[in-house]
């Protein structure tokens, strides 16, 4: 890239080891609701470039098993690729019951904003907002009571729940059929 970017820092949070997967960001002090906790940095790219990078990242994530997708939709023309070491905020983990939210300001800058008061020591999280295209590749281990089992934007939850219900019903029908077959032998 040739860009010399300093890692994003925040007076509110720092990187620590995480029980979810590896690392995460944690509040170093109480954070009031509505605080812009840390800026989500990245490179602004057009939709064609974004699609290209998205596919490369998905191919890579097949090997690593991780959800290595840090592409954000900014508006109809632009996305933001946050897959850079200096984008400290990429270490914030996904949660189905997050305490932060990614908000885009009028200059198309992304901030992780506190959705509620966050106590010092709490891990920061936000909903990655993924669609359902590859949801099976992105299981969620956030551990919250609201966890839907996969990383997906809340708008997609009703659809995701229907899909999972169908999948479960299908598996149950298959199991019942197998039981019937073995009982008949
Ligand atoms: Zn979850």
Residue 113 placed within a domain: yes
Give the span between the Cα atoms of 166 and 171, in whole angstroms: 9
Taking the centre of ligand 1 as the mean of its atom positions, its distance from the CA of residue 98, in whole angstroms, is 9
pTM over 0.85: no
Contact partners, residue 78, CB within 8 Å, separation at least 6? 44, 45, 46, 47, 108
Taking the centre of ligand 1 as the mean of its atom positions, its distance from the CA of residue 169, in whole angstroms, is 22
Domain CATH for 21: 2.170.270.10
How many structural domains does the chain have?
A: 1
Residue 161 placed within a domain: no
Residue 170 placed within a domain: no
Q: From first to last of its 185 residues, what are the pLDDT tens digits of the chain?
A: 445 678 888 999 999 986 655 789 999 999 999 999 999 999 999 999 998 888 887 677 666 555 456 888 899 999 999 988 899 999 999 999 999 999 999 999 999 999 999 999 999 999 999 889 889 988 999 999 999 999 999 999 999 999 999 999 999 999 999 998 888 76
Which pLDDT does position 145 carry in this prediction?
95
Residue 57 placed within a domain: yes
Rg, the chain, Cα only? 19
Give me the domain span that covers residue 131: 13-153
Taking the centre of ligand 1 as the mean of its atom positions, its distance from the CA of residue 97, in whole angstroms, is 7
Residues lining ion ligand 1 (Cβ < 5 A) are: 96, 140, 142, 147
Taking the centre of ligand 1 as the mean of its atom positions, its distance from the CA of residue 40, in whole angstroms, is 21
Residue 94 placed within a domain: yes
Contact predicate 161/148, CB 8 Å: yes
Residue 176 placed within a domain: no
Residue 116 DSSP class = S
Q: Where are the beta strands (DSSP E) in the chain?
A: 13-18, 22-27, 36-40, 43-46, 71-73, 78-81, 93-94, 100-104, 110-114, 125-126
Residue 178 placed within a domain: no
Residue 72 placed within a domain: yes
């Amino acid at each position: 890239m040739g860009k010399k970017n300093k890692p994003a820092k925040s007076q509110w949070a720092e990187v620590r080891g995480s029980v979810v997967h590896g690392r995460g960001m944690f509040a170093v002090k109480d954070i009031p609701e509505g605080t812009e906790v840390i800026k989500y940095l990245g490179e602004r790219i057009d939709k064609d470039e974004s699609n290209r990078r998205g596919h490369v990242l998905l191919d890579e994530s097949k090997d690593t098993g991780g959800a290595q997708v840090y592409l954000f939709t900014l508006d109809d023309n632009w996305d933001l690729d946050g897959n850079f070491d200096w984008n400290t905020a990429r270490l914030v983990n996904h949660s189905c019951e997050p305490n932060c939210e990614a908000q885009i300001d009028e200059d198309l800058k992304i901030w992780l904003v506190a959705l509620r008061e966050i106590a010092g020591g709490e891990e920061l999280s936000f909903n990655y907002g993924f669609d359902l295209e590859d949801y099976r590749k992105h299981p969620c281990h956030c551990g919250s009571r609201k966890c839907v089992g996969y990383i997906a934007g809340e708008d997609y939850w009703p659809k995701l729940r229907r899909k999972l219900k169908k999948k479960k019903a299908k598996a149950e029908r298959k199991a019942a059929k197998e039981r019937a077959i073995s009982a008949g032998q």
